[in-house]
Amino acid sequence: MPGRGAAEQYRDREHAGEVLAERLADRTWVRPVVLGLARGGVPVAARVAARLAAPLRVAVARKIGAPGQPELALGAVTAHGPPSYDERLLRSFRVDEAALARACERERATARAREERFGTGRELQVAGRDVLLVDDGLATGATARAAARMLRRLGPRSVVLAVPVGAPDAVAALRAETDEVVCVLQPVDFSAVGQWYGSFAATTDEEVARLLASTG
């Protein structure tokens, strides 16, 4: 819904998850599995998984930052599979290939360690199932793109990216990487995901572990 204002913002990630779950609940899903992008996507995904009576898992993707601008994603990588890069940004920054490879391996190692902590290091069993990849919002889409490409390799019936809020251009770009993007809010004045939340405190590893344990 483009053009909605800050008055429409979510109280917190749990509220956003409830709104997103409402949007998804009236659909027919085939053996759905819900994956929350670690870490902020997991509280949102937990509400979706509960509403759909689906298992909750964690997808770990790590941003590969630009030289001198670590918050700007040149791409992202998961614990398994090749990295995903924004070719336009790579050309713009003229990144040294060796430095880029080192950054990729560093973030891949972090992703593997986080998977082990969350108990998701084994291969995801999603073949023939509808996979809902959930995050708390979509800014550049770098980590969501890497996660979607990783999931494609596992043979799911479909990959649906579901987010409470997203930048319209990122939403459009991710449609080419997934079977569908479900995005509740697409504000024309989007500048950051946290702008649309009343409370946007960082999600901790402990909170992720608790949510996974509470869903069995």
Distance CA 185, CA 181 (A): 12
Q: What pLDDT does 3 receive? A: 38
Q: Could you tell me if 183 and 163 are in contact, meaning their C-beta atoms sit under 8 angstroms apart?
A: yes
Fold of 63-116: Ybab; Chain: A; (3.30.1310)
Q: What pLDDT does 90 receive? A: 81
Fold of 6-61+122-214: Rossmann fold (3.40.50)
pTM above 0.95, yes or no: no
Q: What pLDDT does 121 receive? A: 53
Q: Is the fold of 6-61+122-214 the same as that of 63-116?
A: no
pLDDT tens sequence for the chain (216 residues)? 333 444 458 999 999 999 999 999 999 999 999 999 999 999 999 999 999 999 999 999 998 988 778 778 888 998 887 888 888 788 888 878 888 888 899 999 998 888 888 876 555 789 999 999 999 999 989 999 999 999 999 999 999 999 999 999 999 999 999 999 999 999 999 999 999 999 999 999 999 999 988 875
| Domain spans, the chain | 6-61+122-214, 63-116
Distance CA 92, CA 115 (A): 32
The two three-digit tokens of residue 78, written as one number: 């998961």
